[in-house]
Structure 1
Amino acid sequence: MGNEAALRSSMVSLAVLMALVWVWTQSLKKTLVTYLIGVCLIAGVLLPDWDFFDRPFSRWIYPVSAEERAAALAGKSGPKRIRVYPLRIIVYCTVYGFAIRKWWTLVST
């Protein structure tokens, strides 16, 4: 249920951002680019299978074992938390920073 609320609020925020871009630039192309980049960024955070990615990076190339799946299901009893891995933060910051920089360059010109 929490993911649905997060998705809903993210999509509403994206709609507000699109309206602001339209009012500021009066460009349908820039508004559509804002929509596409926003949907991709939202999907990158809310849609991944975090049980799969909530493992050390070196284990990502292997399928989830039965023990790992059982441990993930047992850990869902409390509040769902995403573990912080430095590599994940570096990848997200790099990809999102690049996308936002390119979007800003397009919208501001």
Structure 2
Amino acid sequence: MQHLFAFFHSSSDASIQVHSQEQEVAIALGSNVGDRLNNFNKASRQMKKSGTGINVRRHACLYETEPTYVTDQPCFLNSAIRVVTKLSPHELLLVLKEIEKEMG
């Protein structure tokens, strides 16, 4: 099981509209399958090149945690990033879910 973005599920049939005011947003990231570090790097690159104006500003330290609830899976590598975007929270979620889907 791989989790890249800590958000709730949302429908992907909404259109994306860029708003005029930039907002600073923190996004929690986690991965526990494959090359976990590469998953972080790839997700960050995908956000930067998504063409939707997600500008990654800072990365937090990486840390490893034991899985909770479903414990028969690998440990998670976790972090957070700070981005600046003009997207609304819902629109940002749609973009992040699409990146997560593309990454498998």
Q: TM-score, normalised by structure 1?
A: 0.26
Greater length-normalized contact order (CA 8 Å, ≥ 6 residues apart): 2
More strand by share: 2
Higher Rg of the two aligned structures: 1
More helix by share: 1
Q: TM-score, normalised by structure 2?
A: 0.27
